A and B are shown apart, each in its own frame.
Chain A
Amino acid sequence: MDLSPFESDNSVSCRLASEIPDVCRTEDCCLGIDEAGRGPVLGPMVYGICFCPVSKKQELKDSKVADSKTLNEVERENLFQKIDESKSYIGWALQIISPNTISTSMLQRTKYNLNAISHDTAIDLVQYALDSGVQLKEVFVDTVGPADKYEDKLSKRFPGIDVTVRPKADSLFPIVSAASICAKVARDRVVKGWSFSEDMGDVEADYGSGYPSDPKTKAWMLKYLDPVFGYPQFVRFSWSTAQTLMDSKGVTVHWDDDDEDGEKGAQRQNNKSMLAYFSASAGGKDQKSTHQTHRFFTERRLKSLEAL
């Protein structure tokens, strides 16, 4: 697994893929989808697909690819080696969704939430397999949100393919388990070898699992909080853990699309809130009748300066 395409710019998302086995272009295939790193506040989320001919299912089962969550890191690495050695009939592809992409998507003006990102990524990966000529007949997916709704969505999107969405699909279907191993191995390696684009000197790499509940992760986030910038792009700013720490230990930042309390926000921006009209004295004598500034200036936010 060569991670260098992602590592050359870890602020954006990146697709990595194995060669497509010839046999997958001629025989009916099954495909599994799983993700790694959905919950952590640190690092990327990785989506993985694995596919092989339906006729090779038993062989895959015999190779004992179990749910990656029940394995430790070494076991996962070994199993990934096995998958890689079976490249004559197993193919895989990964989408590494950078933490910066997660932050900026979830915090976008028009919010793009993690479920939507997940669904779109899964669909893109299946489409990638189809575009590469893989003869897909069956797709197995570990659930994100309600299984039946997701299954419906995918079945409609890929007519002619038998889609099965199940909770814990990684422990039920070996091909999903294989996808899970690829995704988890990639995520582990990326997190371990994260190179910070920020100029932060020597960063302690002891950030634990990356889960907000991990004391090591918490300690790391306390240590590397910058009052103004908050965090390096390694951190998912959209996680409440990050938000809470920035709110309490960093300086406050206001955006024009913040959900601020109407009156407070208007006051800060020196505007009149809608509510002010109800309390204002009749006649509105509190406003000085100065001459109106021409729109040329207001549009450019130009003001004549009387005092610093």
Chain B
Amino acid sequence: MSCNSSVTRVNVSSVGQAQRVPVHLLPCEIEHNGPAQVSQYLTATTKDCKLEKMVSFRGRGLKGQELSCPQGYTGLVLKETNKPGSDQEDRTVKVSSVFDKLTYWNLETPPNSDDTVVMAMDWPELAEAIHGPVED
């Protein structure tokens, strides 16, 4: 935040107690921030085919696959327990759950290596090559 002096802290010590959870990335925007019956609906109706997974959400056909986090990385789901009263106050977020893989879904298209999120996982390795220390 460049316009004010507030600081956001991630409470890293909460990583240890954080649960490992299944994570889904959907090809739509859901105007909802809160719990959802993922295992009862989505997981329960997911079909595993040879190269892809299939499910439907709100009557639309989705195809997806599992994707691992880049080597050496852990996915974090962050939660802000106490919302600050103003944007001047410091913020603290805790790690509510962690994941090392996620399932991402495309709308009707089979998953493939050109999918945005698959390509995004290239960055850490490339970043390391660009910014890492130069070895002799």
Contact = CB atoms under 8 A, between A and B. Distances in A.
A200 B60 CA distance: 20
Interface in A248-298: 251-257, 268
B58 interface: yes
Interface string A1-42: 000000001010000000000000000000000000000000
A229 B107 contact: no
Contacts of A233: 45, 56
Contact of A299 (B45, B57, B58, B116): B116
Interface residues of A, number: 40
Interface residues of B, number: 36
A242 B122 CA distance: 41
Contacts of B36: 228-229
Interface string A160-198: 000000000000000000000000000000000000011
Interface in B28-69: 28-32, 36-37, 39-42, 44-45, 47, 56-61
Contacts of A135: none
B89 interface: no
B116 A301 contact: yes
21 contacts: A11-B47, A100-B56, A107-B59, A109-B107, A198-B45, A228-B37, A229-B36, A229-B57, A230-B59, A236-B59, A251-B31, A253-B28, A253-B30, A254-B28, A256-B28, A256-B107, A299-B119, A301-B117, A302-B120, A306-B1, A308-B78
A246 B2 CA distance: 40
Contacts of B32: 227-228, 251
Contacts, number: 102
Given A104-B59, A198-B41, A300-B122, A251 B108 contact: no
B interface, over-half SS: mixed
Given A254-B29, A299-B116, A104 B40 contact: no
Contact of B56 (A103, A227, A228): A103
A237 interface: yes
B14 to A, nearest CB: 15
Contacts of B122: 300
Given A229-B37, A257-B107, A199 B44 contact: yes
Contacts of A268: 29
A238 interface: yes
A232 interface: yes
Contacts of B108: 108-109
Contacts of A242: 59
Contact of A197 (B2, B29, B44, B120): B44
Residue with the highest number of chain B CB atoms closer than 10 Å, among A253, A254, A302: A253
A251 B28 CA distance: 12
A199 B42 CA distance: 10
Contact of B123 (A109, A246, A300): A300
Contacts of B60: 103-104, 107-108, 237, 255
A237 B29 CA distance: 18
Given A106-B59, A227-B32, 4 more contacts: A198-B41, A229-B41, A238-B59, A254-B31
